[in-house]
Amino acid sequence: MTGTEPLPSLVSTAWLAERLGRRALRVLDASWHLPAQSRDAAAEYAARHISGALFFDLDQVSDRTTSLPHMLPSAGSFAGVMSELGLADGDDIVVYDATGTNLSAARVWWMFRVFGHARVALLDGGLGKWRAEGRPLECGVVTLPPGRFSARLDQRSVRDLDAMRANLERGTEQVVDMRPAGRFAGADPEPRAGLRGGHVPGSRSLPYTELVAADGTLLPPDALRRRLAAAGIDPARPIVATCGSGTSACTLIHALHVLGHDAAALYDGAWTEWGGREDTPVATGPA
């Protein structure tokens, strides 16, 4: 199917079930959970996952030279780990997670795209919807022979601390914070110790959970547009998405892509970087 059949950026459980097991279609379980949830994503994968799915360890496929969580690795490092996992440049990739909202899967979808692999999709509704429909699962750890995967970072899709500081002055990009409203306002504590409460001054607030329905599927396009408008976000203008550690923010980037807007960038350091410093301004209260 690779290269002949279009691969949507969002695929249904029925779509995947019809194609599961085809050559060069790789399924990745990219589950990751907040530390406070005390869930072991790798153990849960080994106990139950979609048939043939490989495990993508988000914590391990990150820059290990920084204390900030989930920072992008180098292109060479990403290519090496994906090759060891058994992926190849010609593969079609479908990513899911077990969070119920495709929280971490969206981050992994974005990582493949930012490293130049465009043929990647999210499984709408993730593992929760797949299980609710009684579709096949298996246990154990899937391994493949090494593949040949290459990567090249698209720097235009990433913002660092300096770029975020500069945007405070210029205001050319809308900063959209995907954390829960209480954390955005500074009323609720951060899950990571040592972080101030609040948000980057001038940010809009749009909790990532507001982009999905009760079954974890992405809202229809018209509903997504209404959510964006209600949060004061203009998808036609430049957007930088942020959150706690650069994970849930990617749900917005994916949703914008579905709506036909591909210019959104990610602040990779996210609130863990901004809120963990003493030299960055912080605002509290609603947007």
Which 3 state secondary structure label does DSSP give 47?
helix
Which 3 state secondary structure label does DSSP give 172?
coil
- The whole-angstrom separation of Cα 87 and Cα 61 is 14
Q: Which residue has the tokens 């912080």?
A: 282
Q: How many CA atoms lie within 13 A of 208 on its CB side?
A: 27
- The whole-angstrom separation of Cα 126 and Cα 212 is 11
| Nearest Cα residue to 241 out of 186, 195, 178 | 178
Task: Note down pLDDT in tens along the chain; length 287 residues.
Answer: 445 688 999 999 999 999 999 999 999 999 999 877 889 999 999 999 999 999 999 999 999 999 999 999 999 999 999 999 999 999 999 999 999 999 999 999 999 999 999 999 999 999 999 999 999 999 999 999 999 999 999 999 999 999 999 999 999 999 999 999 999 999 999 999 999 999 999 999 999 999 999 999 999 999 999 999 999 999 999 999 999 999 999 999 999 999 999 999 999 999 999 999 999 999 999 99
pLDDT at 213: 97
pLDDT at 47: 98
Q: Active site residue: 243, 249, 255, 256, which one? A: 243
pLDDT at 1: 47
Q: Which helix (H) or strand (E) holds 145?
A: none
Which backbone phi and psi does 29 adopt, to 5 degrees?
A: -90, 110
The 3 state secondary structure assigned to 249-264 is HHHHHHHHHHCCCCCC
Which 3 state secondary structure label does DSSP give 57?
coil
Listed in sequence order, the residues at least 6 apart from 87 whose beta carbon sits closer than 8 Å to its beta carbon are 26, 54, 93, 147, 149
- The tokens describing 48, both together, are 């139950």
- The whole-angstrom separation of Cα 134 and Cα 50 is 11
- The whole-angstrom separation of Cα 252 and Cα 255 is 5
**What's the farthest any 2 CA atoms get from each other in the chain?**
53
Query: In the annotation, is 139 catalytic?
Result: no
- The tokens describing 276, both together, are 């963990």
- The whole-angstrom separation of Cα 118 and Cα 92 is 9
Q: Which residue has the tokens 């900063």?
A: 175
Q: Which residue has the tokens 């990779």?
A: 268
pLDDT at 105: 98
pLDDT at 34: 81
- The tokens describing 230, both together, are 């209600």
Domains of the chain in start order, with CATH, are: 10-153 (3.40.250.10), 156-274 (3.40.250.10)
